Amino acid sequence: MTASPLPSLAARPTAAPFAGALRNADRALIFIGFLMLLEVVKFLIVGNAEAEDLTGAGNPLARALWFPFYLGLILALGARIGALLRVLLPAWPIFALLLVTAASQIWSVVPEITARRAVAVTFTVMFGVYLALREDRLDTLRAAGAAMFAAAVFNLGAVLALPGVGVDQAEHAGAWKGITVEKNALGGEMARAGLVLLSLAYADRRGRAVWLAGFALTALLVLGSTSRTALLALAFPVTVFGLYLLGRRSPVVALGVFYLSATVAGAAALFVWLAPEQAVGLIGKDLTLTGRTGIWEACLTKIMEAPWTGYGLGAFWAEPYGPSYDVRMQVEWIVPSAHNSWIETGLALGYPGMALLGVIVALAMIRSGLAVLGGATPWVFLGLVQLALFSMSESLIFWHPNTFSCTLFAFYATAALMPAARRARPVPEIAPRARLQAAPAV
């Protein structure tokens, strides 16, 4: 008997509807997760006010909102347990840092806070790992980008409709802060979202107009925040991305772009060396980086007092008269953080934590950089560069749980460190010159 060329209804895979439902559940988890990381959900329920205490307790209702998301993430990771196990070895520094974070409860000066922070940081990082594990990278970025676009709309809505909430009325009067707690937070979050949306505009031909509109909105919010650091952190990777695409047109153009970039970089380095005060003035800082160097000096002294353990995740700043007291007395104000991700990691986890963070960043940037040289789109590499820039003046990588930056860092790092076989679809090659008008899938 000749087989029918068309399968019967009975022969269709029974798992297809179930797989479709899981895919939609994944998208919903990503969308809601980023709305929570970007504080939209918290704003709708409890507003944008932060608890005025130094315990790190925050708002109990805001914390409770995360528990259903954690459960969904556990189920999503469970559905990809094989892929998760295969990435354990290539991305070992990420998981080693999570283990050190969990172990810091043992020596923490405030164990209960460290225990809570360790759980939150673990889930925040694992959300980024989960994003990298998903087979369809473009689908992942679409769901994340939709949430980022929505968050940008909420922030602009707060500025226009609720100026008493969305516009700073005190120290930086007139600066936009949207639904975040202050202008620099808005600028930083929108700069990081802007790079993702711009990458989507390049990769997703079908939704390019939407993603370009989202990028334009995030750029507007960065400008409105008046945060020069955020503006630089957005303009730099966007410029590099544009030069990279220009250089792909032909070897001659690529050579010209290389020499132009090298000349500009050399001139910028010479300017910083010869006129450091004027250079930092361009981003609205002085040579102390708005008092940050004094904070760093005091914090480094405290790291030297507990170099191999630190004080436990989130514990250093928790008690007014704890180890942070000396720092606050030295800088003469109630500083809430080290304003540097590396120093913050040292305060929490000592030299081992700083070393592991350095290994993650170095390996991820090398691997993603080599992928770019092999023809991959540079969004992962540029995302890591952008976060590295922010990490020098803000405590945002790994230290603070339930944050957009922490998840993005884990996403970029895991995507860069994944085995080549797993990266084949997520990090595609750029199309030849004749096909540049058709953007590749991500």
149 plus 266 within the same structural domain: no
For residue 118, give its domain range: 25-48+56-248+288-434
Q: Is the dihedral of CA 164, 165, 166, 171 positive or negative?
A: positive
Query: What is the overall mean pLDDT for the chain?
Result: 85
Q: Is residue 79 part of a domain?
A: yes
Lowest mean pLDDT among 46-60, 168-182, 311-325: 46-60
Separation of alpha carbons 311 and 158, rounded Å: 38
Residue that finishes a domain, picked among 285, 303, 335: 285
334 plus 393 within the same structural domain: yes
Q: Is residue 197 part of a domain?
A: yes
82 plus 127 within the same structural domain: yes
255 plus 244 within the same structural domain: no
pLDDT digits (tens, 9 = 90+) for 389-432: 889 888 888 767 778 999 999 999 999 999 864 544 444 444 44
195 plus 267 within the same structural domain: no
Q: Is residue 277 part of a domain?
A: yes
Residue that finishes a domain, picked among 285, 305, 332: 285
**Quick one: average pLDDT of 129-142?**
94
231 plus 267 within the same structural domain: no
Separation of alpha carbons 340 and 227, rounded Å: 17
* pLDDT for the residue numbered 65: 86
Q: Is residue 4 part of a domain?
A: no
202 plus 255 within the same structural domain: no
Tally of domains in the chain:
2
Does residue 11 have a pLDDT over 50?
no
Instruction: State the virtual CA torsion across 252, 253, 254, 260 in degrees, nearest 10.
Output: 110
pLDDT digits (tens, 9 = 90+) for 83-129: 999 999 999 999 999 999 999 999 999 999 999 999 999 999 999 99
Express as a percent the part of the chain with pLDDT over 70: 85
Higher pLDDT, 309 or 420: 309
Higher pLDDT, 102 or 277: 102
Does residue 149 have a pLDDT over 90?
yes
203 plus 258 within the same structural domain: no
308 plus 395 within the same structural domain: yes
Q: What are phi and psi of 441, to 5 degrees?
A: -70, 150
* pLDDT for the residue numbered 432: 40
271 plus 333 within the same structural domain: no
Q: Which of 139, 155, 267, 279 is nearest to 221 (CA)?
A: 155
- Burial (CB count <10 Å: 0-12, 13-18, 19+), residue 409: buried
Helix then strand then coil, in percent of the chain rounded to 5, is 70, 0, 30
SS (H, E, C) 125-191: HHHHHHHHHCCCHHHHHHHHHHHHHHHHHHHHHHHHHCHHHHECCCCCCCCECCCCCCHHHHHHHHH
81 plus 198 within the same structural domain: yes
Q: Is residue 270 part of a domain?
A: yes
pLDDT band at residue 310, thresholds of 50, 70 and 90? very high
Q: Is residue 14 part of a domain?
A: no
314 plus 355 within the same structural domain: yes
Separation of alpha carbons 325 and 176, rounded Å: 32
**Quick one: average pLDDT of 193-197?**
97
Q: Is residue 223 part of a domain?
A: yes
